[in-house]
Amino acid sequence: MFSFAFVIREIEIDDFWRAGLPLIDVRSPGEFARGHIPGAVNIPLFTDEERARIGTLYTRVSAEKAMTKGLELAEPRRQWYLEESRRAAPRGEVAVHCWRGGLRSRSFARHLRENGFEKVVIIAGGYKAYRQHALAFYENPLNLRILGGYTGSGKTEILGALASRGEQIIDLEGLACHKGSSFGSIGCGCQPTTEQFENYLFGAFRETDPCRPVWLEDESHNIGGVNLPLPLWLQMQKSPAWFLRIPREVRASRLVKEYAGYGPRLLTEATGRIARRLGGENCTKTLELISGGHYQDAAMILLSYYDKSYERALRLHSCGDVREIITDCIDPEKNAALLLSYCGPAAVSIRKQAAS
């Protein structure tokens, strides 16, 4: 299938971003699903099953037999590779990568070059090099501002309002497709893998100006089924935080508007997941209230549990710089303006964790 008429140039991942080329990931569908560079198009050289067969030949027989089998399997798809690649890169300029920038990406790149593509490069080190680059990013000091507040404070909406005012924000829950609590999957799609969440997160940080602060919502180490990179989470705990203290009744009303429309079944299931932590009496009462459509009263019981849990988590901010903002307002635009008014040099920390 492939010849060696063209020498394919390698570029480092930073050079690829500067070049702005479309990106083709030739790994198998399973590899791509576990994690990929955001924006990459998957045109798999082999299926998952074929890749497994080739790998078995490589380890149990020989590299030569594995290569022969690979060429045999790829041959019938020559035209399909070209057609898909032209859709992904209609200008005939593209970057290609596999796991380590090895035979798969080089063979695919040469095939494109020999069939009309004007510029084809491969990512040096492949996806593995990208992952190393992405995870190493969080070892560097980051300029973070943390938005805290009890459950139901509307922190995600406040982040949106901050963005409309020109602040840099990253919506961790949006990237994770989860709102963080037992109820967090309601209304959200399927979560990415932790690996892909890390890739999305790194992509979001790459879009920010490192000289300006980035607002993040205060989160535990995990958001639903995905985990924050530990170095990032540790930096979040040491970064200055602003904590919105909004009355429980106000927050309960907001949560009823957000969740009641999903019906009692999903709310009952979510409550059941925290039954042990709620306690038997509170759980039974909450389930009765949900069943009867008394969502405000159910929310008040649930918030009593979540507020205590959040107070414990708040003590993890080891720098002690947690600034409390007391308001009875739930409007995200007003709270964003209020928050920014507390961020100037005159804003004084009113809570020290050492005294908690």
Catalytic one of 98, 190, 211, 283: 98
Give which of 154, 164, 99 is closest to 126, Cα–Cα: 99
At residue 165's C-alpha, the angle toward residues 244 and 154, to 5°, is 30
Buried-state track 143-172, b at ≥16 Cβ within 10 A, e below 16: ebbbbbbbbbbbbbbbbbbbeeeebbbbbb
- Looking only at the bridges linking them, the beta strands covering 23-25 and 322-326 are unpaired
At residue 58's C-alpha, the angle toward residues 55 and 61, to 5°, is 130
Conformation bin of residue 177: beta by default, left when phi > 0, alpha when psi is -120 to 50: left
Locate tokens 């919502």: which residue? 217
The packing angle between helices 280-291 and 295-314, to 10°, is 140
Is 177 assigned a catalytic role? no
Q: Widest CA span of the chain, in angstroms?
A: 75
Residues with a catalytic annotation lie at 98
